[in-house]
Amino acid sequence: MTTKITTNMSLQEKVKNLPHRPGCYIYKNAQGQVIYVGKAKDLRKRVTTYFTKTHDFKTTRLLKEITDLEYFVVTNEKEALLLEDNLIKKYRPKFNVLLNDDRAYPYIIVTNEKNPEYKYVRRYDKKALKSYGPLPIGSGARQLLITLQRVFPLRRCKGNLGKPCLYYHLGQCSGACFKEVPWNYYEEKLKPLSQFFKGNTREVHELLTNKMEQAANNLQFEEAQRMKDLLRSLQLAEKTNHVELHDKVNRDILAFSLASDLLAITLLFYRGGKLLMKDEFLMAYNEQEIEDLVGSYLAQIYKRNMLPDQLILPEDLAFEFLDSSFKRIATAPITRVEQRLYQLAQSNANESLRQGLLNAQTVHHQEQKVLEELQTIANLSRYPHHLEMYDIANFGNKIVVGSQVVYKEGKPDRNAFRKYNIDLAIPDDIHRLESMLYRRFQSALVKQGPLPDLVIIDGGMTHVHFARRLLASLDLEKVPVIGLVKDQHHNTNQLITTNDTVITLDRHTPLYNFLSAIQIRVDAFAKLGLHQKQKQKFATSPLLNINGLGPKKVQELYKRFPTIYEMAKATPEELNGIVKNRATTEHLLAFLATINV
C-alpha cells in the first residue's frame, strides 16, 4: 500500500513530523519542480540527515534549492525501491541518476506453464521457469533460440490443436499440440539446457554435426546449411573469456572511475563463468555521494535484469547503503578470482572515463571570460590559469581533514585534488590550514612541482593573512592569496582581494556562480575525506586478528552490523548465525567484550 502525503506546513515542520516508516520523499524547488527523489527505511531519520549533518556537494546544492517536501508511505523496503524507480522515471529529477529506458538486454526464457515454451524477451521475467541472460545485443540470440528449439524441443505451437503440428513432424515440438506430455519429458530437456548455458556445448555440437552430416548424405543441402548456420550461432556460448574461471558462477562486477567532473560506472555481466556483456554509464559527478549514485544505478539496472549469484563491488564502498536484495549477494574483491575480475572491470571503467573526457574536450569561452573578470576584480598581476582552494573539516575534533581542489583553465582537475590528515594536536582551523599549506608548498619546492597562479582560502581576513605569512616564509610571497567569505546562511558572499579590499559579490553573475561552485566543492571534498576517515575508523583489521575469522566472514559481519560497536551489542545467537562456528564465535565475543559500548 502506498500513501502520498502533502500538507500546508513549513518545510522545517514537515521534516520534524515525518513518520518513522519506510517510504519515498520528493524535494521541490521554488518553481514546484521535482529536483530529487529518494527512498528510506525510516523517512524521518533519513530526511533529517539532510538538514542536520555534514553535507556533500549534491546536498549543499539541494539545500539551496529545496523549498517544499512531499512523501509517500509504503509497507516495506521493497515497495520503496520500486516506487523510487517509478518516480525517477516520471519526474526525471536533475539530482538523481537517470539511466536510459533501454537499459534492458535480451534473455531466453522457459515459460512457467504446464507445457513450457522458449521465448526471446528484452526484459528479465521473474515469473519464468528458467531465465538465461543477459545476452549481448547483436549476439545472434534469436538464432540461438532456434538452435535450442531444434536441439532441446519444448512446446513450439499453441497447444491443444487436436492434431500434430508441423513442428512436431520436424521433431521440434513436444507434442502438446495433440497429446498429454508428461513433465519428466520437459525435465530431460531442461537438464542439458542448463549445462549448455554454463558453457558445456559439446552435446549440442554433436547433435547438430550429426544432423548436418545426415542431411548432406541425403542430399538435403538446404537443411545441411541451416545446421551449419546453427553451429556458427554457438559462438556466443564459446566466447573466449578475458579471465579464465574454473567455476560456473553468475557474477556481476561493478567498478567506477572519476576525474575532472565526470564519473564512469562499468558493470560486467558474467554468466556461467563467461563474460557476456558490459553496461557503461557516464555522468557529471559534482562530488555526490558515490554510495547514493551506485545504489540508484543498481536499482535501475536490476529492475529489468536478473540478479546474479554474486555482485562484486569496490572495497571502499560501504555495504550499509545497499538495498537488502543486493547486500545479500555483494562482496568486495577478496579472493584471487574476484580481484582479477574487478581489475578487468576497473580497466573498462578507466577507459570509459578516458573516452568521456576526450569527448568533453570542447572549447568554452565562458571560463576564460570569468577568469579574466576574476583577475581584474581580485587585483591579480597575472591570469589565473591554475588556481587552488583549501578548506578544513573536522568531526568533533576527533578527526580532522584538509582538502585541496585544483582548477586549470577554469575546469576542475580531479587528478590534482588532495586530502590531508591533520594532526589533532593543532589547536584550531587557522593553524591547521597553515599546517596543510606548509606541507603542500614545501613538497612542491622539494620536488620542483608546479605552483598555482592563485590560492583561494575558504575563510576571512585572518585566514588569508596566515596563508600569506606561511607562503612568505617559504619565499613564495609572489603567489597571490585571496579569500572567499560565507554569509550566515553558509552561502558564498564576499571576496577578499590581494590588497585586502572586501568586495560583496553579485549573485546574478557568472563569476559568482564560478566562485560559489569552487567553494562548495572544496567544502564537499573536505567532508568527503571526513566521511572516509569515519569509515576507516571501524576498519575490519581488528576482527581479522581473531582466530577463525577470515575476510569473507568479517565482511558478512559488517553487512549485518556496520560498526564494531553494533556487533558488541548483538546476541551470541545473532553472531553465530553469521560466523557458523561456536568456537570462533566465542573468540569474537571475547574480543567484543573489550569494546566500550
What's the CATH code of the domain at 427? Answer: 3.30.420.340
Residue 536, pLDDT above cutoff 80: no
Enter the DSSP assignment of 129.
Answer: S
Residue among 94, 563, 511 at smallest CA distance from 288: 94
Note whether 136 and 219 are same-domain residues. Answer: yes
Q: How many residues does the chain have?
A: 597
Note whether 436 and 469 are same-domain residues. Answer: yes
Residue among 337, 406, 370 at smallest CA distance from 513: 370
Note whether 331 and 197 are same-domain residues. Answer: no
**Lowest mean pLDDT across 240-244, 341-345, 515-519:** 240-244
Residue 226, pLDDT above cutoff 90: no
195 in a structural domain = yes
What's the CATH code of the domain at 353? Answer: 3.30.420
Among the candidates 359, 392, 410, a domain finishes at: 359
pLDDT class of 3 with cuts at 50, 70, 90: low
Note whether 485 and 524 are same-domain residues. Answer: yes
Note whether 333 and 382 are same-domain residues. Answer: no
Distance CA 108, CA 134 (A): 8
Among the candidates 359, 381, 407, a domain finishes at: 359
The per-residue pLDDT for 191 is: 80
Count up the domains in the chain and report the number: 5
The per-residue pLDDT for 173 is: 94
Listing DSSP states for 96-146 in one string gives S----TT----EEEE--SSS--EEEESS--TTSSEEE----TTS-HHHHHH
Q: What would the mean pLDDT of 435-452 be, rounded to a whole number?
A: 90
The per-residue pLDDT for 311 is: 94
580 in a structural domain = yes
Note whether 80 and 152 are same-domain residues. Answer: no
Name the more confident of 530 and 357.
Answer: 357
385 in a structural domain = yes
Note whether 513 and 397 are same-domain residues. Answer: yes
**Lowest mean pLDDT across 107-116, 175-184, 212-221:** 212-221
Q: Which run of H or E residues covers position 316?
A: none
pLDDT class of 362 with cuts at 50, 70, 90: very low
The per-residue pLDDT for 7 is: 54
The per-residue pLDDT for 384 is: 94
- Under 8 Å between Cβ of 4 and 70: yes
For residue range 61-81, list pLDDT tens digits in order. 666 678 888 999 988 877 887
Note whether 371 and 465 are same-domain residues. Answer: yes
Distance CA 118, CA 533 (A): 52
243 in a structural domain = no
For residue range 455-479, list pLDDT tens digits in order. 999 888 999 999 999 999 999 999 9
For residue range 94-133, list pLDDT tens digits in order. 777 766 555 567 788 899 999 999 998 877 787 888 888 7
Q: What would the mean pLDDT of 502-524 be, rounded to a whole number?
A: 85
- Under 8 Å between Cβ of 23 and 74: yes
Name the more confident of 511 and 359.
Answer: 511
The per-residue pLDDT for 117 is: 93
Residue 266, pLDDT above cutoff 70: yes
Question: Torsion angle of alpha carbons 295, 296, 297, 300, nearest 10°?
Answer: 120
Name the more confident of 491 and 497.
Answer: 497
149 in a structural domain = yes
Among the candidates 307, 330, 359, a domain finishes at: 359
239 in a structural domain = no
Question: Distance of alpha carbon 235 from its chain centroid, rounded?
Answer: 32
Note whether 377 and 509 are same-domain residues. Answer: yes
Average pLDDT across the chain, whole number? 81
What's the CATH code of the domain at 27? Answer: 3.40.1440.10
Note whether 216 and 272 are same-domain residues. Answer: no
Note whether 75 and 170 are same-domain residues. Answer: no
**Lowest mean pLDDT across 19-28, 97-106, 428-437, 498-507:** 97-106
76 in a structural domain = yes
Q: What would the mean pLDDT of 240-248 be, rounded to a whole number?
A: 56
Residue 413, pLDDT above cutoff 80: yes
96 in a structural domain = no
The per-residue pLDDT for 306 is: 79
Distance CA 237, CA 221 (A): 26
Note whether 432 and 501 are same-domain residues. Answer: yes
The per-residue pLDDT for 240 is: 39
Residue 6, pLDDT above cutoff 70: no
CA angle 254/259/263 to nearest 5° reads: 40
The per-residue pLDDT for 287 is: 59
pLDDT class of 184 with cuts at 50, 70, 90: very high
Q: What percent of the chain has pLDDT over 70?
A: 82
Residue 139, pLDDT above cutoff 80: no
- Determine the structural domain holding residue 158 and report its residue range: 107-233
Q: What would the mean pLDDT of 363-373 be, rounded to a whole number?
A: 75
